[in-house]
């Protein structure tokens, strides 16, 4: 009796939950409304079946529960009924399947003349490539992946010279233009998902997979990786900005072609030394840092990391949060480096400074920290020397008080929340695993042992 009532209530409750729940697909931003339609059809058919069978079940339990003197009916089979049920079910299945397959055929077949964009996934960030004026992508050789050739471009392929390389987590696409997304991975499986576009596809190393869609409204949309790709999977976030055609072209022209990235002007250490005079006031003439002035050690840090942070400061991606007192001091200093050459020069000079380990100032339980550090090691390396491909800086031998401050900044949203600081955003997600002061001190104590 109770069971019959509960079953009926669960059915009613589920229906109410469905209609009243605020949780449903995010508004669509692509041409794939037909996918939403197939979901809708499936919902109605399965919903009706769910309600019908379960209410029948509840009624049967209620009506035929054991009563004094009651006896069950003896009817082992009813072929006619069974055939009818089979036929009805088959019809239901056909109604579900047919529209599904029709839409799938549209998904599989990309319209003629669709523009192509390549999305590249790697642990744990995104980058993008456009084919350039010739409309053809140059070939990629995975054996060529390196710091100097992060896209693995084949240098001898003429098609590749004008390819536009976007070394950023953010990509722009023009509105109302169909786009075929070619998907590549440099390392493990990933999956390119934009919830508003409805479509997704895995990225498989050794293969180029694809999908297509037409963005139908402008806006900014989160890109999530939806195939488990290691310990920082959940921090692999990118962004698609859908622009009007003009704004898209402007954005695209701000990125270098492959040929342009090959032109490297050698940095001038002497010029850098002159520029460093400003820096040395706080960071010290030897780049060793100065805790009293809240200036961290620079010597020994990877050049690409220093470059990124200086650019972040200059672009306002760092040092603009109102609670970031010391970052706000650094921002105007970074602004004194007028161009890319100035940044390259000063970094080249820092690279010549002696790399003596910064003194340990943070105390904690290194043994416990070692366990926590297992997660950190995936990007910062087991020896905490940093990894270029992970875009993760060196930690070992650097200013520990500074790391402690920065982890807190990341946790409190002072750093890593600016839209342009997408790699910082990843660290902000990771830093939350350190729940309290104790966790932070322990993990830094371990880093100090490396």
Partner 1 sequence: MEHIAIADQVHELHHPKSWFTTYIWSQDHKVIAVQYTITAVSVGLVALGMSLLMRLQLGFPDTFSFIAPYEYYQYVTMHGMIMVIYLLTALFLGGFGNYLIPLMLGARDMVFPYLNMLSFWVYLLAVIVLMASFFIPGGPTGAGWTLYPPQAILAGTPGADGGIFLMLVSLAIFIIAFTMGGLNYVVTVLQARTRGMTLMRMPLTIWAIFTATVLGLLAFPALFVSAVMMSLDMKLGTSFFMPAILSMGETLDHDGGSPILFQHLFWFFGHPEVYIVALPAFGLVSDVLSCHARKSIFGYRMMVWAILAIGGISFVVWAHHMYVSGMNPYFGFFFATTTLIIAIPTAIKVYNWVLTLWRGNIHLTVPMLFAIAFIFTFIHGGLTGLFLGNVIVDVPLSDTYFVVAHFHMVMGVSPVLVVFAALYHWFPKITGKMFNKTLGMIHFWLTFLGTYAIYLPMHYLGFLGVPRRYYALGSTDFIPESAQTLNAGITVAALIVGTAQLVFIVNMIWSMSKGKKAGSNPWGATTLEWQTPDTPPKHGNWGPTLPVVHRWAYDYSVPGAKRDFIPQNEPEEDASASGNRD
**Chain residues 24-83 in contact with partner 1, contact rule CB under 8 A:** 24-26, 35-36, 38-39, 42, 45-46, 49-50, 53-54, 56-57, 60-61, 64-66, 70-78, 81-82
* Residue 146 binds to partner 1 (criterion: CB under 8 A): yes
Determine which residue in the list 125, 129, 198, 394 makes contact with partner 1, applying CB under 8 A.
198
**Shorter beta-carbon distance to partner 1: residue 105 or 265:** 105
Residue pair 224/195 in contact (Cβ under 8 Å)? The answer is yes
**Shorter beta-carbon distance to partner 1: residue 406 or 426:** 426
Cα distance between residue 84 and residue 86, in whole Å = 5
Shortest reach from residue 79's CB to partner 1, in Å: 8
Determine which residue in the list 80, 112, 113, 147 makes contact with partner 1, applying CB under 8 A.
147
Determine which residue in the list 116, 136, 157, 187 makes contact with partner 1, applying CB under 8 A.
187
Phi, psi dihedrals of residue 254, rounded to the nearest 5°: -80, 0
Give Cα 213 distance to the centre of its chain.
Answer: 20
**Shorter beta-carbon distance to partner 1: residue 111 or 285:** 111
Q: Tell me which residues in 274-303 interact with partner 1 (CB under 8 A).
A: none
* Residue 387 binds to partner 1 (criterion: CB under 8 A): yes
* Residue 101 binds to partner 1 (criterion: CB under 8 A): yes
**Shorter beta-carbon distance to partner 1: residue 352 or 438:** 438
Piece of the chain touching partner 1 by CB under 8 A; list 166-174, 252-260, 306-314, 422-430:
422-430
Give Cα 125 distance to the centre of its chain.
Answer: 6
Shortest reach from residue 225's CB to partner 1, in Å: 8
* Residue 5 binds to partner 1 (criterion: CB under 8 A): no
Determine which residue in the list 153, 166, 182, 229 makes contact with partner 1, applying CB under 8 A.
229
Identify whether 423 is preceded by a cis peptide bond (ω within 30 of 0).
no
Give the CA count within 13 Å in the CB-facing half-sphere of 55: 11
Burial 93-127 (b: 16+ CB within 10 A, else e): eeeeeeeeeebeeebeebeeeeebbbbbbbbbbbb
**Shorter beta-carbon distance to partner 1: residue 128 or 151:** 151
Cα distance between residue 137 and residue 107, in whole Å = 23
Residue pair 276/349 in contact (Cβ under 8 Å)? The answer is yes
* Residue 230 binds to partner 1 (criterion: CB under 8 A): yes
Determine which residue in the list 93, 274, 277, 325 makes contact with partner 1, applying CB under 8 A.
93
**Shorter beta-carbon distance to partner 1: residue 74 or 263:** 74
113-117 contact pairs (CB < 8 A, 24+): 114/178, 114/179, 114/180, 114/212, 115/177, 115/178, 115/179, 115/180, 116/179, 116/180, 116/181, 116/182, 117/171, 117/173, 117/179, 117/180, 117/181, 117/182
Piece of the chain touching partner 1 by CB under 8 A; list 7-15, 301-309, 334-342, 355-363:
7-15
* Residue 139 binds to partner 1 (criterion: CB under 8 A): no
Shortest reach from residue 338's CB to partner 1, in Å: 32
* Residue 7 binds to partner 1 (criterion: CB under 8 A): yes
Q: Tell me which residues in 235-254 interact with partner 1 (CB under 8 A).
A: 235, 237
**Shorter beta-carbon distance to partner 1: residue 106 or 328:** 106
**Shorter beta-carbon distance to partner 1: residue 71 or 264:** 71
Cα distance between residue 432 and residue 430, in whole Å = 5
Determine which residue in the list 250, 352, 361, 438 makes contact with partner 1, applying CB under 8 A.
438
Give Cα 80 distance to the centre of its chain.
Answer: 56
Shortest reach from residue 59's CB to partner 1, in Å: 9
Instruction: Retrieve residue 255's tokens.
Output: 């990125």
Burial 376-395 (b: 16+ CB within 10 A, else e): bbbbbbeebbbbeebbbbbb
Cα distance between residue 163 and residue 159, in whole Å = 7
Q: Where are the beta strands (DSSP E) in 141-187?
A: 164-166, 170-174, 179-185
* Residue 217 binds to partner 1 (criterion: CB under 8 A): no
Instruction: Retrieve residue 435's tokens.
Output: 């729940």
Q: Tell me which residues in 327-356 interact with partner 1 (CB under 8 A).
A: none
* Residue 433 binds to partner 1 (criterion: CB under 8 A): yes
Cα dihedral 128, 131, 133, 136, rounded to 10, equals: 180
């Amino acid at each position: 009796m109770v069971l019959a009532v509960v079953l009926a209530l669960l059915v009613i409750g589920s229906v109410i939950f469905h209609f009243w729940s605020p949780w449903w697909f995010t508004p669509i931003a692509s041409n794939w409304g037909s996918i939403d339609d197939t979901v809708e059809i499936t919902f109605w058919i399965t919903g009706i079946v769910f309600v019908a069978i379960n209410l029948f079940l509840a009624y049967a339990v209620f009506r035929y529960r054991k009563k004094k003197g009651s006896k069950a009916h003896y009817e082992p089979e009813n072929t006619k009924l069974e055939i009818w049920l089979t036929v009805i079910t088959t019809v239901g299945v056909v109604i579900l399947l047919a529209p599904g397959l029709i839409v799938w055929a549209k998904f599989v077949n990309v319209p003629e003349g669709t523009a192509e964009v390549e999305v590249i996934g790697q642990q744990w960030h995104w980058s993008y490539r456009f084919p350039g004026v010739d409309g053809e992508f140059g070939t990629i050789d995975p054996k060529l992946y390196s710091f100097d050739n992060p896209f693995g471009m084949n240098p001898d392929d003429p098609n590749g010279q004008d390819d536009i390389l976007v070394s950023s987590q953010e990509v722009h696409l023009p509105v109302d233009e169909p786009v075929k997304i070619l998907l590549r991975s440099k390392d493990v499986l990933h999956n390119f998902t934009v919830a508003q576009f409805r479509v997704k596809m895995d990225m498989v190393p050794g293969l180029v997979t694809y999908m297509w869609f037409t963005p139908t409204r402008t806006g900014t949309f989160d890109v999530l990786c939806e195939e488990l790709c290691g310990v920082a999977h959940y921090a692999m976030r990118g962004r698609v900005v859908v622009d009007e055609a003009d704004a898209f072209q402007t954005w695209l022209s701000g990125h270098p072609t492959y040929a342009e990235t090959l032109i490297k002007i050698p940095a001038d250490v002497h010029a850098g030394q002159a520029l460093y005079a400003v820096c040395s006031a706080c960071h010290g003439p030897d780049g060793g840092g100065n805790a009293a002035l809240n200036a961290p050690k620079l010597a020994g840090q990877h050049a690409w990391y220093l470059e990124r942070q200086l650019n972040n400061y200059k672009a306002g991606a760092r040092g603009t949060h109102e609670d970031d007192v010391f970052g706000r001091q650094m921002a105007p200093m970074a602004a004194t480096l007028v161009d890319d050459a100035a940044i390259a020069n000063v970094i080249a000079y820092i690279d010549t400074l002696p790399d003596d380990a910064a003194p340990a100032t943070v105390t904690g339980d290194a043994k416990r920290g070692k366990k926590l550090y297992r997660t950190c090691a995936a990007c910062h390396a087991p020896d905490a020397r940093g990894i270029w491909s992970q875009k993760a800086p060196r930690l070992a031998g650097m200013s520990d008080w500074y790391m402690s401050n920065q982890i807190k900044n990341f946790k409190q949203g002072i750093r890593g929340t600016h839209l342009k600081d997408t790699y910082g955003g990843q660290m902000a997600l990771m830093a939350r695993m350190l729940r309290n002061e104790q966790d932070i001190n322990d993990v830094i104590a371990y880093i100090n042992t490396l």
